[in-house]
Structure 1
Amino acid sequence: MALGGNPVFNSKSYREQTGPNAATATFHAQPNLSAQELQDLYTKPSAGPQQTGRMTYASVINKTMATFAVLLIGAVIGWQAPGLMIVGAIVGLVLGLVNSFKKQPSPILILLYAGFEGLFVGGLSGYLEAQYPGIAGQAVLATLSVFAVVLVLYRSGKYRATPKMTKMFMAAMIGYVLFSLLNFVLMITGVAGGQFGMRSGLLGIGIGILAVLLATYALVLDFTSISEGVRNGAPEKFSWTAAFGLTVTMVWLYIEILRILAILRGDD
């Protein structure tokens, strides 16, 4: 089931490898086996996902932790050297696009994305922290809280992706992206001033809340794609794709929350 949303999980390669036929294997008969050997094969415990090289929740968690560790290292460097923020943003964007459309996941490229994205996140956080002390900690706490709530609701079955909601999500995402591109152009041309251009005041808060809601639904789509990958026996290497997808969504969620807090603190 392709639900859309995060392009990382919606890529053709990921869908093919995590679909219902991902775990299909060919049985090769082994000649010259004795009756006892056949009996031993029959009674031997079945190999688990880890033994057969399949994606598991544990492998996804481990890869995600590794990705976030590199992200954190990059963020610390970016915090200390805010000038690297632009480099992190540009290189992170390029690597994000490369990883999103790459047929096979590359751990090195995914970790490099996390590192450069960390430079951007750390630089932006440090810049706003200098203006509004404590804002970075508030944004981190809020992001982790939203993630925990969404995960609990998803695990309980109370927050699930549906075709109708996904269509609405995609329509809203298109509008959000177009508005963001327009705002960016107006900012670099000097038409819209301020730290966030048109994303200031009540309009900025409203757009920010919409973006946070979109990010929470993107998390649900991420969880759904991961669950399907594990259930269908996707190759273990796609745990890196899952880790990358979660990192993209979490960084987006954090930046949107950080922006909302900055707007609110700026209006004090």
Structure 2
Amino acid sequence: MLLMKIGKAFVLLILLLAASVYSYVQMTQGTMKIPVLIGIIIVTLIVAFVVIFIPRISPICAPIYTVLQGILLGSISAYYTKRFSDSIALTAVLLTISILLAMLVLYTTRIVKVTKKFRAVVTVATLGILIMYFIVFLLGILGMNVPYIHQGGTISIIISTIVIIVAALDLLLDFDSIENGIQSGAPKYMEWYSAVGLMMTLVWLYLEILRLVSYIMKNKD
């Protein structure tokens, strides 16, 4: 039943990939301007908050949010490609898709069960990571760099790996939310709402994998 109901998530995934490829090509050709990207970032944040606080309009906002997110991902991927390697983006995409499929298998076969305790632990870990991101962001605004977080050394690799593991576990929570929504007879628009949540987790996972691969490449140089 879950596999049938995550169809909307796969539709969004296709939109995400298409928008990412388009943006990637535009960035590599130099036709995507920074002011445009800044505008897209602002609109993306607005749409994301609208989806979060007004789930009823998720069927309309979900595709819009996904396309905007895809444009940003493509731009970020182009930056990493230019700075590190032509293969870095493809490597991150393949790893992300592989983890997604692996988590889906683990969930559908019930090898890993999402219990209340499991959800609580993963949620706390996720909140901890978000707080870390926020602190690093604030310190960055103040012109202060946090040692070991983004320097690409061994500690950075370990931290990034832990974040990837937590993001992967968050996929299980997304699957569980979708399935619980089905079983409880939630409104149809909640399928789009849950699909957006899954996309957010995938984007987070991809960006962290991209960062980890860049750390590994940097250490090899």
- Distance apart, 1:182 and its partner CA: 1.5
- Residue in structure 2 matching 1:78, options 23, 31, 50: 23
1:184 aligns with 2:130: no
1:118 aligns with 2:66: no
Asked if structure 2 preserves the Cα contact closer than 8 Å seen for 1:85 and 1:121, the reply is no
- Distance apart, 1:139 and its partner CA: 0.2
Paired AA for residue 94 in structure 2: L
Over aligned residues, Cα RMSD in angstroms? 2.3
Distance 1:253 1:119, change over 3 A: same
- Residue in structure 2 matching 1:210, options 146, 156, 162: 162
Distance 1:160 1:85, change over 3 A: farther
- Distance apart, 1:144 and its partner CA: 0.7
- Distance apart, 1:57 and its partner CA: 4.8
Once the two structures are aligned, what percentage of the paired residues are identical?
A: 31
1:238 aligns with 2:190: yes
Q: What is the correspondence of 1:89-104 to structure 2 with a 5 Å cutoff?
A: 89-104=41-56
- Residue in structure 1 matching 2:12, options 67, 84, 103: 67
User: CA separation in 2, counterparts of 1:56 and 1:137?
Assistant: 28
1:105 partner SS: helix
User: CA separation in 2, counterparts of 1:56 and 1:219?
Assistant: 13
Paired AA for residue 164 in structure 1: K
Structure number having the greater helix percentage? 2
Paired AA for residue 267 in structure 1: N
Paired AA for residue 121 in structure 1: L
Distance 1:162 1:217, change over 3 A: same
Partner of 1:141: 94
Paired AA for residue 152 in structure 1: V
2:6 partner SS: helix
User: CA separation in 1, counterparts of 2:41 and 2:78?
Assistant: 14
Paired AA for residue 207 in structure 1: I
Asked if structure 1 preserves the Cα contact closer than 8 Å seen for 2:55 and 2:193, the reply is no
Paired AA for residue 92 in structure 2: A
The structure that has the greater radius of gyration is 1
- Distance apart, 1:188 and its partner CA: 3.2
- Distance apart, 1:156 and its partner CA: 1.3
Structure 1 unaligned spans of 5+? 1-54
Distance 1:87 1:204, change over 3 A: farther
Partner of 1:199: 150
User: CA separation in 1, counterparts of 2:157 and 2:126?
Assistant: 17
User: CA separation in 2, counterparts of 1:116 and 1:96?
Assistant: 10
User: CA separation in 2, counterparts of 1:66 and 1:167?
Assistant: 29
Asked if structure 1 preserves the Cα contact closer than 8 Å seen for 2:103 and 2:168, the reply is yes
What TM-score does the superposition give when structure 2 sets the normalisation length?
0.85
- Distance apart, 1:177 and its partner CA: 1.2
Paired AA for residue 199 in structure 1: H
Partner of 2:123: 170
Paired AA for residue 60 in structure 1: I
Paired AA for residue 46 in structure 2: V
Partner of 1:47: none
- Distance apart, 1:193 and its partner CA: 8.2
2:172 partner SS: helix
Structure 1 stretches of at least 4 aligned residues deviating more than 4 Å after TM superposition: none
Paired AA for residue 212 in structure 1: I
User: CA separation in 2, counterparts of 1:142 and 1:87?
Assistant: 30
